[in-house]
A and B are shown apart, each in its own frame.
Chain A
Amino acid sequence: MIEVRHRAGLLLVAVVLAQIILISAQVNTQRGVSLLEAVAFGVFSEVQRTIAGGVAAVRGAWTGYVALRGVVRENEALRRRLAQAEVELQQQRALADRSRGLARLLELREQAELTTVAAAIVGAGATPDFQTVTIDKGTADGVKRDMAVIAPAGVVGRVVTTGARAAKVQLLIDRNAAAGAIVERSRAQGVVVGAGDDRLHMEQYVSESADIAVGDVVMSSGIDGIYPKGFLIGRVESVQKSGTAYKRILVKPAVDFRSLEEVLVVIAPAGAREAAGSVE
Chain B
Amino acid sequence: MKAVWIALAILLALALQSVTGRFLVRGPAAVDLVLVLVVYVGLTTGMVSGLTVGALAGLAQDALSTGIVGVGGLAKTVVGFLAGAVGTQFIVTQPFPRFVVFFGATAVHAALFMGLYALLDMRQVGNPATAVAGQALGNAVIGVVAFQVIEMLPGAVERRRARRARIRR
The answer to whether A binds B is yes
Interface residues of A (CB under 8 A from B): 4-5, 7-8, 11-12, 15-16, 19-20, 22-23, 26-27, 30, 34, 36-37, 40-41, 44, 47-48, 51-52, 55, 121, 123-134, 160-161, 168, 170, 173-176, 193, 195-198, 257-258
Assess A47 versus B15: contact at CB under 8 Å? Given A8-B84, A12-B78, A20-B70. Answer: yes
23 contacts across the A-B interface (CB closer than 8 A): A4-B46, A8-B46, A8-B47, A11-B51, A16-B74, A22-B70, A23-B70, A23-B74, A23-B120, A26-B68, A47-B15, A51-B15, A51-B19, A123-B21, A125-B64, A125-B65, A127-B17, A128-B30, A130-B65, A130-B66, A132-B65, A175-B123, A198-B27
- Would you call B69 and A126 a contact (CB within 8 A)? no
Chain B 26-45 interface mask (CB, 8 Å, partner A; 1/0):
11111110100000000000
- Would you call A41 and B28 a contact (CB within 8 A)? no
B63 interface residue per 8 A CB criterion:
yes
B94 interface residue per 8 A CB criterion:
no
Which residue among A41, A47, A126 has the maximum number of chain B CB atoms within 10 Å of its CB?
A: A126
In the complex formed, the residue of B with least CB distance to A34 is B69
Q: How far is the CA of A16 from the CA of B126 in the complex (A)?
A: 26
Q: 4 shortest A-B CB distances, which residue pairs?
A: A124-B21, A40-B63, A128-B30, A8-B47
Residues of B within 8 A of A55 (CB): 19
B72 interface residue per 8 A CB criterion:
yes
- Would you call A176 and B18 a contact (CB within 8 A)? no
In the complex formed, the residue of B with least CB distance to A52 is B19
Q: Of B17, B69, B120, which is within 8 A of A36 by CB?
A: B69
* A contact face: mostly helix, strand, loop, or mixed: mixed
Q: Of A40, A170, A195, which is within 8 A of B126 by CB?
A: A195
In the complex formed, the residue of A with least CB distance to B48 is A8
- List 10 extra interface pairs beyond A129-B28, A197-B27, CB under 8 A: A12-B47, A16-B77, A19-B77, A23-B74, A37-B64, A123-B19, A126-B64, A130-B65, A132-B65, A176-B122
Q: How far is the CA of A266 from the CA of B18 in the complex (A)?
A: 24
8 Å CB interface, B45-59 against A: 46-48, 51-52, 55, 59
Assess A11 versus B126: contact at CB under 8 Å? Given A37-B69, A123-B18, A126-B64. Answer: no
